[in-house]
Amino acid sequence: MYDRFMKGVRTASLVMLAPAAVLAQGGRGAPGPQGGSEQGVPAIEKVSTTRHRATINGQDIGYTANAGTMVIRDADGKPRATVFYIAYTRDGQNAATRPVTFFFNGGPGSASIWLNEGIMSPMHPTMGPGGAQPAPPYDLVPNQYSPLAATDLVQVDAMMTGYSRPAPGVAVSEFTGQQNDIALFSQFVRNYLTKYQRWSSPKYLFGESYGTFRSAGMVNYLQQSEGIFLNGVMLLGTVLDFSNISPSASNDPPYAMFLPTYTASAWYHKRLPAELQKLTLAQAVQQSRDFAFGDYLVTLAKGNTLTDAEFDAAAQKVARFTGLPLQFVKNTNLRVDAGAFRTELLRDKREMLGRYDTRLTGLQGNASSLNQDYDPSDVAPTGAFMQAFMRYVQDSLDYHTDLQYMLSGQTGQWVYGGGGRGGGGFGGSPTTSQDLRVAMSKDPRLRVWVGSGYYDSATPFANAEYTFRHLGYGKAYTDRVSYDYFESGHMAYLNQESARQLSDAIQKFVRGGR
């Protein structure tokens, strides 16, 4: 779920969803070790099995939890790594017909406790109103919105996150980077289906943030390399093509893709003109969307050939849909950067907006700066999620180890491209959109669900819309893609009402109702 810019990453794009600290997608600071064997631990399968009961959606549900490590081996059977996972399996169900959903966060070097604690686990921490940071100590309470009512759930942690580690003498770099990461997760899926005899079960992936990029690559890899065809793929906080969130002088479309998110954010903070402010959120966003993918794109494409009159008219409209001062919009040449928007909208109050959730605000030390002191939405869930998760793993799931549970990975350089079909989007930017398209072509029953938060300025919802409008040009594709929007940010589940809607969407999708 969260993602962060990271130094030391080799990629054709300047922007990536890198490990986000203390949050949904990864970690702060410089990249960790570059792939030596220092982190290697004995490759042993160690699983703790416990049984529980929980009230979910008003139902008393019995479930079995398996928390432990899965050994990943090479073609000769030699151990290469252990991958940590937690599987929640509803008791008394027929495995042949019971769906199983593998879920993971992004980063790319992030542990998956954010999805686990946010929506999937039958137990999770309480959060403040609207997903705000709660006060410690943090309560661990039943999660009435867990989709366990409809599908078994398997959390998977990426290499060098959680308790996932390479075997002694095996380099971390063998599991990191776009293709290695996709292969590792796919091999885990294969191993899990075999170990727990779930080959006949309906199978789903659920990825968040960079996890959506991974999911799109995995579905094609699973078909080609593992002979595994999925029933569906669920994407939350989607980015399949990094060029869509990487605006530049030669890449104008991302400015249009961010604009509806600016409108939603300005609407929430009551900064839109009166005629827009009085509309519902969806109505205001639709007007912005129509302008963004209509006149705005055409205007941007004209570049410096715009007449003064055209420039002024466009600036008036951009200011109208962003709530920003007209002169500020003109100074940006009609191209408002996401960071500039977050520091400018509430500058008169000396406040800045959160990147992952623009509803959340924080004090800006230097009210004239375009750089944020910190991200208010970055810090909100960290303490509560980490403490609740460790308490649950140790006390309830009875899993114990001397290893540190790492929120973010020490993965070193992350190499994109190579293999598959996802090496190059616009300007060589990383993409797995064509991997997903090919997988949908080969399997005409494969369905895709896309969930987006209106207030997510890390992976804006219009970038997902744009991606799927260009994924395949025909109803054979579009009829199998469904969308849901949440009045929340990147981590839709932090807001309780959005968590309920997200749970309903997941359950409806796996039951074949989308």
Domain residue spans of the chain: 47-243+381-510, 248-378
CATH number of 47-243+381-510: 3.40.50.1820
- Comparing CA positions, the residue from 345, 320, 154 lying closest to residue 265 is 345
Q: What is the pLDDT of residue 25?
A: 46
Pseudo-torsion of CA 221, 38, 48, 21, nearest 10°? Answer: -70
Angle at 233 between CA 338 and CA 426, to 5 degrees: 45
279 neighbors 266 (Cβ within 8 angstroms): no
Q: Which two tokens stand for residue 499?
A: 């968590």
d(CA 72, CA 188): 7
Round the CA-based radius of gyration of the chain to a whole number and report it. Answer: 22
Q: Which residue is it, tokens 């579905």?
A: 219
Q: What is the pLDDT of residue 418?
A: 54
d(CA 311, CA 298): 12
408 neighbors 19 (Cβ within 8 angstroms): yes
407 neighbors 114 (Cβ within 8 angstroms): no
Residue 374 DSSP code: S
Per-residue pLDDT reduced to its tens digit, 315-324: 999 999 999 9
Residue ranges, the chain, pLDDT below 50: 1-37, 419-420, 422-423
Cα-based distances in Å from 512 to 216, 232, 236, 480:
20, 9, 18, 11
- Which residues contact residue 230 at a Cβ distance below 8 angstroms, ignoring those fewer than 6 apart? 203, 204, 205, 219, 222, 443, 446
Q: Which pairing describes strands 351-353 and 361-363: parallel, antiparallel, or unpaired?
A: antiparallel
502 neighbors 446 (Cβ within 8 angstroms): no
